[in-house]
Amino acid sequence: MVVQAFAFYLFAGILVTSALMVITARNPVHSVLFLILAFFNAAGLFVMLGAEFIAMILVIVYVGAVAVLFLFVVMMLDINFKDLRKGAMHYIPIGIIIGGILLFELSMIYSYWQFAPTISNIDLPTDQFADVSNAQALGLVLYTDYVFPFQVAGLILFVAMVGAIVLTLRVRPGVKKQNISEQQARKASDVLEIKKVTTGTGV
């Protein structure tokens, strides 16, 4: 238990600190690197919960793809973050006022907050799938109980793809493209012409 508690506080502590660093770091590249650190620690927490599939997905998708993409975008776009911050200073008073009101309201709610009473009306999915791995459990429900959201998710991704093409694809006329079959079909006789040039006359 001590080891578990130690691991939890270690992951959670680093997660919160690195999340703070994401928004406070002056250099945006550092922010993204801290974000990656935060993802890794969150994955650690998921492993501790027994959700190893989500942990792996988090590392592969978020660290492997999204964060690296962020890094590229941040490095390629020349955004002057100092100028962005200048405008933000202007709004700090109103931000503090709104934040204060929210904090007040949240504390009001918290003063008579009840945590959910024991919920009786669900059969926890973990009971059904106690002895199978995460990925297997997901596979068992994804194509049966949740086939509708799964299919609609497919449609959403399809629309996203169509949308990206609609908004960015531009057909530019007159662009020279490589046509390999044409290149291969060229014969020397089509393009080369050998002329006899007599000395001193030119072509």
Partner 1 sequence: MENLNIMTLLPEIFLAITAMGFLIAGVMQGNKSTDVLCWSSCLSFVIAAALLLRIDWDTQYLLNNMLVSDKFSMMLKLFIVVGLTATTALSVRYLYFERIARFEYPVLIIFSGIGMMFMVSANNLLSLYMALELQSLSLYVLAAFHRNSLRSGEAAAKYFILGALASGMLLFGISLIYGFTGSLDYQIIASSLKNAELIAPGFTIGMVFVIAALVFKVSAAPFHMWTPDVYQGAPTSVTAFFAIVPKVAALGVLIRLLFEPFAMAESQWTQILYFVSIFSLLFGSFAAIAQSNIKRLIAYSSIGNMGYALIGIIAATPQGIGAVLLFLFIYMVMTAGTFSILLYMRRDGISLERISDLSGLSKTHPVLAYSMAALMFSMSGIPPFAGFLSKLFIFNAAVASGHFVLAVIGVLASVVAAYYYIRIIKVMFFDEPEDEFDGNMSLEKRLVLLFSIIFVVGFIFKPNALLDSAMSSAKVLFM
Q: Is position 87 an interface residue for partner 1 (rule: CB under 8 A)?
A: no
C-beta closer to partner 1: residue 6 or 158: 158
Q: Is position 198 an interface residue for partner 1 (rule: CB under 8 A)?
A: no
The secondary element (H helix, E strand) that includes residue 107 is helix 92-111
The answer to whether the Cα torsion of 79, 80, 82, 86 is positive or negative is negative
C-beta closer to partner 1: residue 97 or 164: 164
CA 82-40-56 angle, 5° bins: 130
The count of chain residues that interact with partner 1, using the rule CB under 8 A, is 29
Binding mask 128-157 for partner 1 (x = CB under 8 A): ----------------xxxxxx--xx-xx-
Q: Is position 75 an interface residue for partner 1 (rule: CB under 8 A)?
A: no
- Residue ranges of E strands in 22-180: none
Q: Is position 113 an interface residue for partner 1 (rule: CB under 8 A)?
A: yes
List Cα–Cα distances, 28 to 3, 39, 40, 81, 93, in angstroms: 35, 17, 19, 8, 25
Instruction: Candidates 76, 77, 109, 192: give the one binding partner 1 (CB under 8 A).
Output: 109
Instruction: Candidates 23, 89, 119, 197: give the one binding partner 1 (CB under 8 A).
Output: 119
Mind giving me the DSSP string for 37-61? Answer: HHHHHHHHHHHHHT-HHHHHHIIII
Kindly state the smallest distance separating residue 147's Cβ from partner 1, in Å: 6
Q: Is position 95 an interface residue for partner 1 (rule: CB under 8 A)?
A: no
Kindly state the smallest distance separating residue 83's Cβ from partner 1, in Å: 20
Q: How far apart are the first and last CA of the chain?
A: 93
Cα gap 149→156, rounded to integer Å: 10
C-beta closer to partner 1: residue 19 or 25: 19
> For binding to partner 1 (CB under 8 A), which residues are involved?
109, 112-117, 119-122, 144-149, 152-153, 155-156, 158-160, 162-163, 165-167
